[in-house]
C-alpha cells in the first residue's frame, strides 16, 4: 500500500471535497514560452502540462499565471488578466481532465520582481526597460526586491484595492477556464510576499508594520477570490515558510497565517516553500539539501492539519516541496506525517512520467499505475 499513490481529498467549502487520484502534485514552473507576449498559453503549455497528466500526476499545476499584465515575471509569462486568455487555458484543463488529473492554476503577481528577462538564449534575467518590452513595477515599498532590479513604485491603498480586484477577476476566469483548484502565489519574494515580509515592507499605513497589517493583503485576496470561486472548488496558497533571514518572515508567522487562512479565509491547501529575498549584506544562507523544506511543511501541518473552516469537511492539505526527487523519499515524508502531499518540480522536468516511474518503484501493481493506458506497454 503506497501512501503516495493513495487518493487524497482537498476540502471544499460545500463540504464535498475534491478527490485527487494520488499525492504526487506538480509544482508550478514558469516556461517563459508565450512568445507573442499576450499571456495566452501556447501549444508548448499544452504539450508540457499534458505530458505531466499523462505521466500520472494527481494534480497538475500551470505556472505562475499573472492576474495583471504588469504582474508578469517576464513578458513571456502566461496570464488570466483578460477574456482572450481563457479559451486556451480551457484546452489545457480539458486535456488534463481527460487524463484523470486535477488542473490547478497558480494566480500570481510578481510585483517588484516583474518585468525581467527569461534568460533564454543567453539574454538577461535582470530588469527589462520599456524598449526591451519591460514596464514599471510595483511593490509594498520602493525597496528593490532583488539587488539590481529596477526601483518599484509603492502601491497606494487605492491601488492595492485594484490588485485585490485583479486577483478576483482572474479567479473568475480560472473557473471559466475549467481549473479545479487555485493556488495563490504568496511565496518566493513576489508581490504578496513583498507585503508579508518586513525585509521589504516598510509601510506605515494599514498594510505595514504589525503582522496583522502585513498579512492584510493576502487575507483580502483570499476573501475576494472566495466570493467568485465556487464553493465546490478548493482554494490553496503557496507560502514561503521562512525568509531564512534574521528579522524576516519566519516559520512561526507562517504557522499563524496558515491557521488563520484555513479557519477564516476559505483556504484548504497550503504548499510550503521558502525564500525569495536577501539579507542586508545582499546574500541569504539557505540550507539546501534533500527535502530541506519538509520541516517547514511539518510545522504548518501541525498548525492546520486537523481543522478547516468555512464549513469545509476534512483536514486541510499541506504539501511539501523542494528537492524531493525519489519515490521512497516522497513515500517516507508522507508516512511520517510530515506532509499530506508532495509537490514535484525539477524531477518532473527530467521525467514527465515521474509519477508512473515512482509508482513502479513503490511496487504499485501495473493496473493501478496512474500512467496513461497508451503507455502501459512501456513496462510500468
Ligand X SMILES: Cc1cc2nc3c(=O)[nH]c(=O)nc-3n(C[C@H](O)[C@H](O)[C@H](O)COP(=O)(O)O)c2cc1C
Nearer to ligand X, 29 or 298 (CB): 29
Strands 181-186 and 153-154: unpaired
Give me the 99-138 binding string for ligand X, x by CB under 6 A, dash otherwise: -------x--------------------------------
What minimum distance in Å lies between the beta carbon of 243 and ligand X?
A: 15
Pairwise CA distance, residues 233 & 182, whole Å? 8
Query: How many chain residues touch ligand X (CB under 6 A)?
Result: 20
Q: Which range touches ligand X (CB under 6 A), out of 163-171, 172-180, 218-226, 345-353?
A: 345-353
Residue 273: strand, helix, or coil:
strand
Q: How far apart are CA 39 and CA 87, in angstroms?
A: 12
Q: 167 or 203: whose CB is closer to ligand X?
A: 167
Examine residue 72 and tell whether it contacts ligand X (CB under 6 A): no
Nearer to ligand X, 215 or 274 (CB): 274
Of 168-176, 180-188, 229-237, 368-376, which segment contacts ligand X by CB under 6 A? 180-188
Interface map 250-279 toward ligand X (x if CB under 6 A): -----------------------x------
Cell of 29: 514552473
**Binds ligand X by CB under 6 A, chosen from 23, 185, 265, 315:** 185
Q: Site for ligand X (CB under 6 A): which residue of 100, 230, 295, 345? A: 345
Q: Tell me which of 21, 48, 89, 188 binds ligand X, using CB under 6 A.
A: 188
Choosing from 18, 40, 60, 64, the residue that interacts with ligand X (CB under 6 A) is 64
Among 149, 177, 187, 330, binds ligand X (CB under 6 A): 187
Cα–Cα distance measured from residue 367 to residue 353, given in angstroms and rounded to the nearest whole number: 16
Q: Which is nearer to ligand X, 49 or 187 (CB)?
A: 187
Place of cell 508532495: 342
Q: First CA to last CA across the chain, in angstroms? A: 17
Cα separation values, 57 from 100, 127, 235, 369, Å: 9, 35, 19, 10
| Chosen residue from 72, 214, 226, 238 binding ligand X by CB under 6 A | 238
Cβ nearer to ligand X, comparing 134 with 322: 322
| Cell 477570490, residue located | 225
Q: Cα-atom radius of gyration of the chain, to the nearest Å?
A: 19
Q: Mark residues 303-342: x for contact with ligand X by CB under 6 A, - for none.
A: ------------------xxxx------------------
Shortest Cβ distance from residue 108 to ligand X (Å)? 7
Q: Is 21 in the site for ligand X (CB under 6 A)?
A: no
The dihedrals phi and psi of 311, each to the nearest 5 degrees, come to 75, 0
Q: Is residue 134 within 8 Å of residue 75, measured between CB atoms?
A: yes
Give the one residue of 24, 29, 164, 278 binding ligand X; rule: CB under 6 A: 29
Which residue lies nearer to ligand X by CB, 117 or 322? 322
CB nearer to ligand X: pick between 154 and 186? 186
Cα 312 from Cα 223, distance rounded (Å): 15
Spatial distance between the Cα atoms of 203 and 26, rounded to a whole number of angstroms = 35
CA 148, CA 232: separation in Å to the nearest integer? 43
Beta bridge partners of 116: 127
- Residue 323 has a CB neighbour count (10 Å cut-off) of 16
Q: Given the rule CB under 6 A, which of 111-119, 132-140, 182-190, 215-223 is the region that contacts ligand X?
A: 182-190
Task: Supply φ then ψ for residue 273, to 5 degrees.
Answer: -105, -155
Closest CA to 318 of 332, 344, 336, 338: 338
Active site residues: 190
Q: How far is the CB of 185 from ligand X (least distance, A)?
A: 5
Residue 59 per-residue DSSP state: E
Q: Which residues bind ligand X (CB under 6 A)?
A: 27-30, 63-64, 106, 185, 187-188, 238, 273, 321-324, 344-347
Amino acid at each position: 500500500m503506497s501512501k503516495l499513490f493513495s487518493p487524497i481529498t482537498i476540502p471544499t467549502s460545500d463540504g464535498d471535497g475534491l478527490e485527487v487520484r494520488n499525492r504526487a502534485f506538480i509544482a508550478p514552473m514558469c516556461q517563459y514560452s508565450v512568445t507573442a507576449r499576450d499571456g495566452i498559453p501556447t501549444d508548448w503549455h499544452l504539450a508540457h502540462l499534458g505530458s505531466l497528466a499523462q505521466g500520472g500526476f494527481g494534480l497538475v499545476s500551470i505556472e505562475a499565471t499573472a492576474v495583471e499584465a504588469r504582474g508578469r515575471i517576464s513578458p513571456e509569462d502566461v496570464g488570466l488578466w483578460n477574456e482572450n486568455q481563457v479559451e486556451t487555458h480551457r484546452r489545457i484543463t480539458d486535456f488534463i481532465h481527460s487524463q484523470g488529473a486535477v488542473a490547478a492554476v497558480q494566480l500570481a503577481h510578481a510585483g517588484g520582481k516583474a518585468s525581467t528577462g527569461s534568460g533564454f538564449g543567453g539574454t538577461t534575467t535582470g530588469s527589462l526597460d520599456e524598449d526591451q518590452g519591460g514596464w514599471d513595477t510595483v511593490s509594498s515599498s520602493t525597496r528593490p526586491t532583488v539587488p539590481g532590479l529596477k526601483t518599484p513604485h509603492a502601491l497606494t491603498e487605492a491601488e492595492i484595492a485594484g490588485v485585490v480586484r485583479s486577483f478576483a477577476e482572474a479567479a473568475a476566469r480560472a473557473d471559466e477556464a475549467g481549473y479545479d483548484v487555485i493556488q495563490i502565489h504568496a511565496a518566493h519574494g513576489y508581490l504578496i510576499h513583498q507585503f508579508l515580509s518586513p525585509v521589504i515592507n516598510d509601510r506605515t499605513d494599514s498594510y505595514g508594520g504589525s503582522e496583522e497589517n502585513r498579512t492584510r493583503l493576502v487575507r483580502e485576496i483570499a476573501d475576494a477570490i472566495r466570493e467568485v470561486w465556487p464553493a465546490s472548488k478548493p482554494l490553496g496558497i503557496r507560502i514561503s515558510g521562512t525568509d531564512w533571514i534574521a528579522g524576516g518572515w519566519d516559520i512561526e508567522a507562517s504557522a499563524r497565517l496558515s491557521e488563520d487562512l484555513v479557519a477564516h479565509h476559505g483556504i484548504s491547501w497550503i504548499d510550503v516553500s521558502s525564500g525569495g529575498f536577501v539579507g542586508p549584506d545582499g546574500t541569504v544562507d539557505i540550507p539546501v539539501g534533500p527535502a530541506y523544506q519538509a520541516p517547514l511543511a511539518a510545522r504548518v501541518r501541525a498548525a492546520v492539519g486537523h481543522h478547516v473552516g468555512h464549513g469545509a469537511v476534512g483536514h486541510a492539505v499541506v504539501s511539501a516541496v523542494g528537492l524531493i526527487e525519489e519515490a521512497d523519499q516522497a513515500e517516507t515524508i508522507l508516512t511520517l506525517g510530515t506532509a499530506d502531499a508532495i509537490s514535484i518540480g525539477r524531477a518532473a522536468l527530467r521525467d514527465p512520467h515521474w509519477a508512473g516511474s515512482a509508482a513502479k518503484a513503490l511496487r504499485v501493481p501495473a493496473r493501478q499505475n496512474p500512467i496513461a493506458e497508451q503507455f502501459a506497454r512501456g513496462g510500468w
